[in-house]
Amino acid sequence: MPSVTMNAQEVRPVWTSEQGSMAKQTAETRWAKIIQGTVDDIGETAVAEDVDDQKRAESIAIQIALKNIKKEIEQNKPLTYVLLHGPKRMNSRRFRPLQDDGKPDIQAWNKQLAAIGECSWINCPWLFGECYMYRRIQMILNSSKHWQNYDVFKRQKDSTFVKSRAAVEELASRYIQIVADTGLAQNESKEEAKKLLFIEMTEVALWGNATDLSLLANLTLEDLQNLQGHAAIQKSQRNIVDNDTNDVWTYLQRTTSHANRQIDIVLDNAGFEFFTDVLYAAYLLDAGIATSVRLHTKEFPWFVSDVIPSDIESLFEHLDSSEFFPGRKYLDKLIPRLRKFFQAGAITTTTDPFWTTPFSFHEMPSKAPALFKELQNSYLVIFKGDLNYRKLTRDGLWPHTTTYEEALGPLGKQSGVKILALRTNKSDVCVGVPTQSKVDALNEEAPGSAWVRNGKYAVVSFNEGQ
């Protein structure tokens, strides 16, 4: 059966009111818990001995404001206005913008809020509602005096990283023994081995995404260890439902003579996943595939576990700590190598306000033209994780056989952007499945759309933007 082609505008983005959707489930059951987590975290920090009295006092108001968001969600309040109770039941409504918290993005947010029309927490476009929730949390912190640069998710990020100890040590050992010590990555006479190494390293970066903290509640520790371990990575190739790894390799082989081969990685999560991303960046450099790698972080705490600038130094602090990672044999060799890439400017980091807007990437050419141009000039742009994938595909309810190129909209055909998505499937959208019979087989194997949602299936989707 040929792939379905559809006009991007005909495909609805998923709403939190959609029966049976991950969107609805997330909005109804997870959002309030995430907010409660921030309340508890602030509380825990505020009682620490070294916190001064003013900061402690302010934490109370912050906790109340956070709990108010939680209440709004639980009571399915409107996102865009408040009801004013007048006399004789003459209720009226007032548009409720985000308060000015001194950040330059507030105006754009409020424009978007005004444009979105009537909607409530459990009846809104999922992508918008979820981004809005994280911006609301940040608004409270930005408006505070003593908590402005506080990362309300740091505690969670750190505690999860510790749990991936075995996988971190295993990957460090593999990297040193296979990539660094053997020179295999650059050995011209070993084409097939080089390709296999590329597949393996790409899969490390892919499955590293399975530890997304915002979905951790659904995975047991055993699950995580299986996903992170080498044997599971090999087995998991069969769970990649759109696998363009060969096409990426062909593109990279065809273009080795390009002088400037800067690869951009638009990151997802801190901790274990970020470790695998830095390892992947190091591999791309060591193998001569990239001449430089640029990592894109979020500007402020986002979707619980996303990398923000302070997570970069935090990664190295953790890796250096023998309390966190007692197996030092390979880590002590690996860490100086990784640090060197940063110090030499071979790996750089950057951030852009566009990543923390509610806009899908279909809107990048109009809303963030400078960023779009930068990505057009990149040798390869790698988007990590579920949220980036949702944004690439407009969080649309596309038929699963829609081509990746089609679902990318303005970032697809003739965009000039070489886009690789490495994403474990954890939401409602998934495109690029080659045939309907494959979709049918997946539905049989993992019923109830589990293969689109449970993080055990994935895509490695590539488009050259030609």
CB of 352 to Mg ion, least distance (A): 16
CB of 237 to Mg ion, least distance (A): 23
The answer to whether 172 touches 232, Cβ cutoff 8 Å, is no
CB of 134 to Mg ion, least distance (A): 10
* C-alpha–C-alpha distance, residues 370 and 172, integer Å: 37
The answer to whether 319 touches 291, Cβ cutoff 8 Å, is no
Query: Looking at beta carbons only, is 171 or 308 nearer to Mg ion?
Result: 308
* C-alpha–C-alpha distance, residues 461 and 243, integer Å: 6
Pairing of strands 292-297, 81-84: unpaired
* C-alpha–C-alpha distance, residues 289 and 285, integer Å: 6
Query: Looking at beta carbons only, is 151 or 268 nearer to Mg ion?
Result: 268
CB of 12 to Mg ion, least distance (A): 24
The answer to whether 366 touches 411, Cβ cutoff 8 Å, is no
Closest CA to 425 of 449, 394, 448, 401: 449
CB of 35 to Mg ion, least distance (A): 17
Query: Looking at beta carbons only, is 134 or 379 nearer to Mg ion?
Result: 134
Pairing of strands 419-424, 380-384: parallel
What is the Cα Rg of the chain in Å?
Answer: 22
Residue 290 gets which letter from DSSP? -
Query: Looking at beta carbons only, is 286 or 306 nearer to Mg ion?
Result: 306
* C-alpha–C-alpha distance, residues 351 and 7, integer Å: 32
Query: Looking at beta carbons only, is 268 or 286 nearer to Mg ion?
Result: 268
Query: Looking at beta carbons only, is 41 or 212 nearer to Mg ion?
Result: 212
Query: Looking at beta carbons only, is 76 or 351 nearer to Mg ion?
Result: 351
* C-alpha–C-alpha distance, residues 305 and 157, integer Å: 6
CA separation, residue 174 to residues 3, 277, 279, 316, 464 (Å) = 39, 15, 11, 19, 31
Query: Looking at beta carbons only, is 24 or 391 nearer to Mg ion?
Result: 391
* C-alpha–C-alpha distance, residues 156 and 37, integer Å: 9
Q: Nearest-CB residue to Mg ion?
A: 303
* C-alpha–C-alpha distance, residues 214 and 409, integer Å: 27
Closest CA to 363 of 354, 374, 352: 354
Which chain residues interact with Mg ion by CB under 5 A? Answer: 268-269, 303, 305-306
Query: Looking at beta carbons only, is 228 or 401 nearer to Mg ion?
Result: 228
CB of 38 to Mg ion, least distance (A): 16
CB of 34 to Mg ion, least distance (A): 12
The answer to whether 385 touches 212, Cβ cutoff 8 Å, is yes
CB of 386 to Mg ion, least distance (A): 7
Closest CA to 9 of 388, 394, 358, 369: 394
CB of 392 to Mg ion, least distance (A): 14
